[in-house]
């Protein structure tokens, strides 16, 4: 809300005024009804480690995060550039591998990634688009510059929270929406449906959302998106493959499925092709996909560009395919597989954030400044044992935004996850999920690790 000189950022001016009018008591009441609204909407998720299956809500802070139109333009341009280049990169990796032949990045590093799928070589998804649905994690450093932190090319979650948070905040601060001219995110699910339909020539197009089931932590979102799009919500066991065609099992027999927005990981999609012990997938699904009889969004195999070691090369990837300089810079990244970097990481581990290259969700990471000596030694040992699996980044002082706490309004660290749709064209929804670290001073915003969320208002200015 305030910039480095404690000056009110202009996009917050009206909101700040409203905040003062509302008063502390009323604000707490608003926060309380926000919690109730989330419960009644069933916006709950199960925490993985809880075998009790305890349902939690993702805490929604009533104070929105506001982004000026000017800032947003930059984010938008940066994301378009980045997603376009990453898609070309994935396509290249599964075809000629020109980028490896030209030695822009080490082939070994890419091809050794567990997420590189040999089975996808030579495949042509519709329009050669592989990453249909993405949500890029962006942070703003102390310098006020936006950096991309993670690319999340494997159907990241959270968009339902972006949409429902907005619905709730519209009830909380109705008058501000008109005054401030907040850009709408309402049409996301229409755009999503249109994009998915555009991937198939069937008429009408039968779309299904594939979920691991009601115990998945993102089930609320899967059901929500299916319902909002008017698509069928299916589990692996609802599908059968006959003659390389995918069908749903209905009360009146089998019905063909044309496009699957799948929220099941590559590994679990098809026990005949990937993990044999998967009960979430459907036998024969991958073959049907390979034959072009069904579209999978996102395409299998995109995780390779999501690898945290590959991330470090994105500036070069953009330069290579688009001949442009990167608009939204990366966070400086040390690749433990490269010897000089590794040495630096080991010597400075207390200052760095170390991440496992194939993990996500805030798991498998070490935050140097907040870690114990023993934890640091453990990570040094792991890095030496398997350097390919680790990268490190400087600890970035994430920007803070005002957040309602028990002690009043205080700054909390946030990140920003906008959502991008890519079919025949690339669309960025003017809004985002802002994740907030609720604990004072904490830098971890993941919902699985005590993070909350905020509605994100992108203004027309």
Residues in the chain: 461
Q: Using CB under 8 A, which of 1, 234, 264, 309 touches another protein?
A: 234
- What is the Cα–Cα distance from 17 to 179, expressed in whole angstroms? 12
Q: Using CB under 8 A, which of 146, 224, 313, 320 touches another protein?
A: 224
Cβ(295)–Cβ(145) below 8 Å: no
Q: Does 58 bind another protein (CB under 8 A)?
A: no
- Positive or negative: CA dihedral 323, 328, 334, 340: positive
Q: Does 256 bind another protein (CB under 8 A)?
A: yes
Pairing of strands 295-297, 259-262: parallel
Q: Does 227 bind another protein (CB under 8 A)?
A: yes
Cβ(336)–Cβ(391) below 8 Å: yes
Minimal distance in Å, beta carbon 42 to another protein? 5
The torsion region of residue 362 among left (phi > 0), alpha (psi -120 to 50) and beta comes to left
Minimal distance in Å, beta carbon 38 to another protein? 11
Q: Which of residues 110-149 bind another protein (CB under 8 A)?
A: none
Q: Does 186 bind another protein (CB under 8 A)?
A: no
Q: Which of residues 285-324 bind another protein (CB under 8 A)?
A: none
Q: Does 214 bind another protein (CB under 8 A)?
A: yes
CA nearest to 97, candidates 132, 105, 130: 105
Question: What sections of 173-218 are H helices per DSSP?
Answer: 174-180, 188-197
Q: Does 54 bind another protein (CB under 8 A)?
A: no
Q: Which of residues 372-391 bind another protein (CB under 8 A)?
A: none
Q: Using CB under 8 A, which of 161, 247, 261, 457 touches another protein?
A: 247
Q: Does 242 bind another protein (CB under 8 A)?
A: yes
**How far from chain centre, in Å, is Cα 426?**
16
Q: Using CB under 8 A, which of 25, 252, 276, 407 touches another protein?
A: 252
Nearer to another protein among residue 114 and residue 240 (C-beta):
240
Which among 119-127, 151-159, 184-192, 241-249 is the span making contact with another protein, rule CB under 8 A? 241-249
Q: Does 235 bind another protein (CB under 8 A)?
A: yes
- What is the Cα–Cα distance from 301 to 119, expressed in whole angstroms? 8
Minimal distance in Å, beta carbon 255 to another protein? 6
Count, residues near another protein per rule CB under 8 A? 32
- What is the Cα–Cα distance from 168 to 345, expressed in whole angstroms? 44
Minimal distance in Å, beta carbon 212 to another protein? 12
CA distances from 207 to 167, 173, 198, 280, 459 (A): 25, 36, 11, 18, 33
Minimal distance in Å, beta carbon 226 to another protein? 4
Pairing of strands 44-46, 55-57: antiparallel
Q: Using CB under 8 A, which of 6, 204, 276, 373 touches another protein?
A: 204
Q: Using CB under 8 A, which of 11, 206, 371, 393 touches another protein?
A: 206
* Furthest CA-CA distance within the chain: 67
Q: Does 279 bind another protein (CB under 8 A)?
A: no
b/e code 303-316 from CB counts within 10 Å (16+ = b): bbbbbbbbbbbbee
Bond prior to 9 in cis (omega within 30° of 0): no
Q: Using CB under 8 A, which of 39, 74, 145, 359 touches another protein?
A: 39
Nearer to another protein among residue 211 and residue 403 (C-beta):
211
- What is the Cα–Cα distance from 293 to 305, expressed in whole angstroms? 25
Q: Does 159 bind another protein (CB under 8 A)?
A: no
- What is the Cα–Cα distance from 7 to 135, expressed in whole angstroms? 31
Pairing of strands 334-335, 60-67: unpaired
3-state secondary structure of 406: coil
Minimal distance in Å, beta carbon 119 to another protein? 27
Q: Does 223 bind another protein (CB under 8 A)?
A: yes
Minimal distance in Å, beta carbon 441 to another protein? 33
Minimal distance in Å, beta carbon 284 to another protein? 14
- What is the Cα–Cα distance from 238 to 234, expressed in whole angstroms? 6
Minimal distance in Å, beta carbon 287 to another protein? 19
CA atoms within 13 Å, Cβ hemisphere of 249: 9
Which among 146-154, 253-261, 288-296, 401-409 is the span making contact with another protein, rule CB under 8 A? 253-261
Where does this chain bind another protein (CB under 8 A)?
A: 39-42, 204, 206, 213-214, 219, 223-224, 226-227, 231-235, 237-238, 240, 242, 247-256
């Amino acid at each position: 809300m305030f910039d480095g000189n404690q000056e009110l950022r202009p996009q917050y001016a009206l909101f700040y005024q409203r905040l003062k009018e509302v008063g502390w008591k009323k604000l707490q009441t608003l926060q309380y009804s926000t919690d109730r609204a989330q419960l009644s909407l069933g916006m709950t998720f199960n925490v993985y480690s809880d075998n009790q299956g305890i349902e939690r809500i993702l805490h929604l802070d009533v104070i929105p995060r506001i982004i000026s139109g000017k800032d947003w333009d930059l984010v938008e341009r940066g994301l378009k550039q980045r997603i376009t280049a990453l898609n070309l990169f994935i396509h290249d990796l599964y075809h000629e591998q020109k980028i490896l032949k030209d030695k822009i990045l080490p082939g070994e590093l890419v091809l050794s990634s567990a997420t590189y799928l040999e089975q996808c070589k030579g495949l042509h998804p519709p329009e050669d688009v592989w990453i249909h649905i993405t949500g890029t994690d962006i942070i703003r450093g102390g310098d006020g510059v936006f950096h991309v932190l993670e690319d999340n090319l494997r159907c990241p979650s959270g968009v339902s929270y972006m949409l429902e948070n907005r619905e709730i905040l519209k009830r909380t601060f109705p008058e501000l929406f008109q005054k401030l001219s907040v850009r709408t995110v309402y049409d996301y699910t229409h755009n999503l449906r249109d994009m998915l339909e555009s991937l198939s020539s069937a008429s009408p197009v039968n779309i299904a959302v594939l979920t691991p089931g009601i115990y998945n932590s993102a089930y609320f979102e899967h059901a929500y998106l299916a319902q909002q799009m008017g698509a069928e919500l299916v589990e692996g066991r609802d599908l059968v493959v006959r003659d390389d065609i995918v069908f749903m099992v209905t009360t009146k027999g089998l019905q063909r499925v044309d496009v699957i927005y799948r929220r099941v990981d590559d590994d679990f999609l098809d026990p005949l092709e990937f993990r044999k012990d998967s009960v979430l997938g459907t036998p024969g699904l991958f073959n049907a996909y390979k034959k072009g009889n069904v579209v999978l969004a996102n395409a299998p195999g995109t995780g390779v560009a999501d690898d945290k070691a590959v991330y470090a090369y994105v500036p070069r990837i953009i330069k290579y395919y688009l001949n442009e300089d990167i608009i939204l810079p990366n966070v400086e990244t040390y690749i433990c597989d490269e010897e000089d970097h590794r040495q630096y990481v080991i010597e400075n581990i207390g200052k760095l954030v170390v991440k496992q290259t194939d993990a996500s969700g805030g798991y498998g990471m070490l935050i140097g400044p907040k870690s114990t000596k023993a934890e640091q030694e453990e990570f040094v040992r792991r890095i030496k044992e398997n350097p390919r699996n680790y990268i490190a980044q400087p600890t970035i002082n994430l920007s803070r935004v005002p957040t309602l706490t028990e002690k009043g309004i205080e700054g909390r660290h946030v990140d920003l996850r906008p959502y991008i749709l890519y079919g025949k064209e690339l669309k960025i929804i003017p809004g985002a999920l802002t994740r907030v670290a609720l604990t004072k001073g904490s830098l971890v915003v993941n919902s699985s690790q005590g993070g909350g969320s905020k509605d994100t208002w992108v203004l027309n200015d």
